Amino acid sequence: MNIYVLMKRTFDTEEKISINGGQIEEDGAEFIINPYDEYAVEEAIQIRDAHEGEVTVVSVGSEEAGKQLRMALAMGADKAVLINTEDDLKEGDQFTTAKILVEYFKDKEVDLILAGNVAIDGGSGQVGPRIADMLGIPYVTTITNIDIDGSNVFVTRDVEGDSEMIKTSLPLLVTCQQGLNDPRYPSLPGIMKAKKKPLEELELDDLDLEEEDVESKTKILDIFLPPDKTAGHVLKGDLTHQVQELVSLLRSEAKVI
Amino acid sequence: MGKKVLVLGETRDGQLRNVSFEAVAAGKKVAQGGEVIGVLIGESVSMLANELIQYGADRVLAVEDAKLSQYTPDGYSQAFMAVVEQEQPEGIVFGHTALGKDLSPKIAAKLNAGLISDATSVEEEDGAIVFTRPIYSGKAFEKIIVKDRLIFATVRPNNIQSLEKDESRSGDATSVSVSITDLRTVIQDVVRKAAGGVDLSEAKVIVAGGRGVKSDEGFKPLKELAGVLGGAVGASRGACDAGYCDYSMQIGQTGKVVTPDLYIACGISGAIQHLAGMSNSKVIVAINKDPDANIFNVADYGIVGDLFEVVPMLSEEIKKLKAAQL
Ligand SMILES: Cc1cc2nc3c(=O)[nH]c(=O)nc-3n(C[C@H](O)[C@H](O)[C@H](O)COP(=O)(O)OP(=O)(O)OC[C@H]3O[C@@H](n4cnc5c(N)ncnc54)[C@H](O)[C@@H]3O)c2cc1C
Ligand SMILES: Cc1cc2nc3c(=O)[nH]c(=O)nc-3n(C[C@H](O)[C@H](O)[C@H](O)COP(=O)(O)OP(=O)(O)OC[C@H]3O[C@@H](n4cnc5c(N)ncnc54)[C@H](O)[C@@H]3O)c2cc1C
């Protein structure tokens, strides 16, 4: 089975965000594999181990994403591909990323593509379904379970807390939701082996894409931080009094009950 | 010149969702004086047309087919694209719900269009339609526009004010017929777990429990409080990881991002990943026995105490208040 994982490098969830010159400040920040894409890598490895085949992890980004790709290789993926847009593109959006990945997949035999539910930075959840549509394959988003039986696939999809049991078939794209699995930590031998696994680097040229083919459809005008929350009012006195005061504040000051 | 805008009217248990009325209000802004057309998709949905009009749609198109009784990306995209072909809109607005999030990128791909997901506001600035949306799970925001003529966005529930319902409004409701073919994903069963039908992303009040709740049993007083307030119950990842509740209840950077009017955090320490999902709530109450817990740094009101004492007292006090108001 040819299994592909779409992986985005993103800020560590621990990071506070600051803005410098109209851009999110990246200096000094820690980066990780987008947490939902970790579920995708883990699931891909488990499916390969159960059904045989090969797991290729693909990322669109800059040179730095190589580190997260190595991490995925250390977890157990077989190959990695970095589509490096650093020299070719200044701006990009979800259309850009999807279009680049679709070009990459055009000449591949794809059985299953696993993506994350959303990237925790951009947060749109667009990239997976866009790619599936452009490749003409079905997709199921926010999955919490997947069973593959020949070309039949049974998936559980989380829909605002309810679970849908869905029957579909390969080739297929899924996006992974929390609860799907517990991603493994790379082992020391895994990390050693990863150094020898192939990490291919491509540029737009290698995909026969011109800058204008992938020009973003949206434009960011400004980035700003939410207003600082100042620590509020910790109530005092005996508990009964505190609870009464809280209810009265919620009613007359905050006006929410 | 105004734009013609399509707004998807989404249903849940046979009723239109509030977010669809909010989407109509957003659609009005995008239309800049043009026409807002409500789109209903389902097995039997045309009777909801009037309500969509009363909330501001100018007319409604309904696509009805037995194959549309449940949402599937293939079925709904065929239905919606038939409407797009008929109307040639210059704007499209969906709610950013599970359905809207799943369907909108597929439609955007088919139209080769830009898409602004999860917008929390829409404003006209110098003639341009500017959207604001959270990035980094609400740790920052961006202002963003679509460059092309077709403006396509999804709006986050609870953020854009819907218009006053006007029962005197009327408009045409017509049907569009489509033959729905080749559904490549088939829903075989649905297991309903979402308690009480109040969805977290749309709830006006959320009572959330953390590891401090200590067991699934420990969620009982929280459920009671949520019931009294007509709200939903959420959780921290700490509580989900410990197995006290389902991951679908998780709020935070890798869970749901919510913006209710009132968020009551019980036994939650206030980790940065949790705050990312709830710190933009209008009013935050923290109940925690540790006076140094970080959650107090974002709370508007805090009570230092044992949640198993405080939460039931709070339910009682609010019940009393409600009884007095009757
Ligand atoms: C050349 C270029 C320049 C960019 N410049 C900016 C900028 O200035 N400001 C800005 O905010 N953003 C920029 N971006 C990023 C872009 O706007 C989106 O963040 C990106 O396309 C993904 O969208 P998202 O974050 O909403 O991801 P989602 O659609 O939420 O991601 C869902 C899933 O899709 C997959 N996926 C997403 N992105 C990638 C990827 N890059 N590689 C592999 N798989 C992926 C992952 O599986 C992920 O879990 C740029 C992108 C490119 C290609
Ligand atoms: C990649 C990543 C993603 C993450 N995503 C999320 C996310 O989306 N959402 C999320 O919530 N977390 C997330 N986390 C986890 C986060 O870092 C914290 O571990 C988690 O939020 C802690 O949950 P908690 O506050 O319930 O537990 P704890 O931190 O253990 O806090 C429990 C609190 O309960 C209080 N308490 C105990 N008993 C009582 C009592 N009887 N009465 C009153 N108070 C009591 C304690 O004082 C303490 O403050 C993520 C972590 C990582 C690494």
- Asked whether the beta carbons of residue B73 and residue A250 sit closer than 8 angstroms, the reply is no
Tell which of A10, A151, A250 to mutate to test the B interface (max B CBs under 10 Å). A250
Cα A149 to Cα A136, A154, A168, B287, distances in angstroms = 21, 8, 11, 48
Q: Which residue's CA is the closest to the ligand 2 atom numbered 39?
A: B212
- pLDDT band of residue B196 (cuts 50, 70, 90) is low
Asked if A23 has any chain B CB less than 8 Å from its own CB, the reply is no
Q: What is the mean pLDDT of the segment spanning B89-101?
A: 98
> What is the CATH number assigned to the segment(s) B200-325?
3.40.50.1220
How much is the pLDDT for B201? 87
Task: Give tens-digit pLDDT for B11-32.
Answer: 998 999 999 999 999 999 999 9
Residue A52 has pLDDT above 60, yes or no: yes
Task: Give tens-digit pLDDT for A92-117.
Answer: 999 999 999 999 999 999 999 999 99
- pLDDT band of residue B189 (cuts 50, 70, 90) is very high
Cα B3 to Cα B32, B36, B83, distances in angstroms = 6, 8, 16
Task: Provide φ and ψ at A160, rounded to 5°.
Answer: 50, 40
Architecture of domain A2-214: 3-Layer(aba) Sandwich (3.40)
Look over chain B and give the mean of its residue pLDDT values, rounded to a whole number. 95
How much is the pLDDT for A232? 87
- pLDDT band of residue B178 (cuts 50, 70, 90) is very high
Residue A71 has pLDDT above 80, yes or no: yes
Which of A2-6, A239-243, B197-201 is least confident? B197-201
Share of chain A above pLDDT 90, in %: 94
Here the tokens at position A121 are: 């930075």
Chains A and B form CB pairs within 8 A to the count of 261
Cα separation, B316 vs B224, whole angstroms? 10
- Asked whether the beta carbons of residue B302 and residue A233 sit closer than 8 angstroms, the reply is yes
Residue B195 has pLDDT above 60, yes or no: no
Residue A4 has pLDDT above 70, yes or no: yes
How much is the pLDDT for B287? 98
Report chain A residues whose CB lies below 8 A from the CB of B186: 166-168
Q: Where are the domains of chain A?
A: 2-214, 230-257
Residue B198 has pLDDT above 80, yes or no: no
A118 in ligand 1 pocket by Cβ < 6 Å? Answer: yes
Tell which of B300, B315, B319 to mutate to test the A interface (max A CBs under 10 Å). B300
Q: What is the mean pLDDT of the segment spanning A60-73?
A: 97
Alpha-carbon distance B98 to nearest alpha carbon in chain A (angstroms): 6
Cα B242 to Cα A27, A192, B216, distances in angstroms = 35, 33, 9
Residue B193 has pLDDT above 90, yes or no: no
> What is the CATH number assigned to the segment(s) B5-175?
3.40.50.620
In the annotated binding site of B for FAD, the residues are 211, 236-237, 250-254, 267-274, 288
How much is the pLDDT for B15? 94
How much is the pLDDT for B168? 97
Closest CA to A187 of A14, A18, A45, A3: A45
- pLDDT band of residue A228 (cuts 50, 70, 90) is confident
Question: Which residues on neighbouring strands pair with residue A174, listed in sequence order?
Answer: A114, A140
Q: Rounded to the nearest whole angstrom, what is the distance from the C-alpha of residue B240 to the centroid of ligand 2? A: 10
How much is the pLDDT for B194? 61
Report chain B residues whose CB lies below 8 A from the CB of A22: none
Mapping DSSP onto H, E and C, the string for chain B reads CCCCEEEEECEECCEECHHHHHHHHHHHHHHCCCCEEEEEEECCCHHHHHHHHHCCCCEEEEEECHHHCCCCHHHHHHHHHHHHHHHCCCEEEEECCHHHHHHHHHHHHHHCCCCEEEECEEEEECCEEEEEEEEHHHCEEEEEEECCCCEEEEECCCCCCCCCCCCCCCCCEEECCCCCCCCCCEEEEEECCCHHHCCHHHCCEEEEECHHHCCCHHHHHHHHHHHHHCCEEEECHHHHHCCCCCHHHEECCCCECCCCCEEEEECCCCCHHHHHHHCCCCEEEEEECCCCCHHHHCCCEEEECCHHHHHHHHHHHHHHHHHHHC
| Four-CA torsion B310, B312, B315, B317, nearest 10 degrees | -70
Closest CA to B55 of B88, B95, B26: B26
Looking at chain B, the domain(s) classified CATH 3.40.50.620 span: 5-175
- pLDDT band of residue A160 (cuts 50, 70, 90) is confident
Residue A55 has pLDDT above 90, yes or no: yes
Looking at chain B, the domain(s) classified CATH 3.40.50.1220 span: 200-325
- pLDDT band of residue B312 (cuts 50, 70, 90) is very high
How much is the pLDDT for A231? 77
- pLDDT band of residue B244 (cuts 50, 70, 90) is very high
- pLDDT band of residue B248 (cuts 50, 70, 90) is confident
Closest CA to A93 of B137, B153, B144: B144
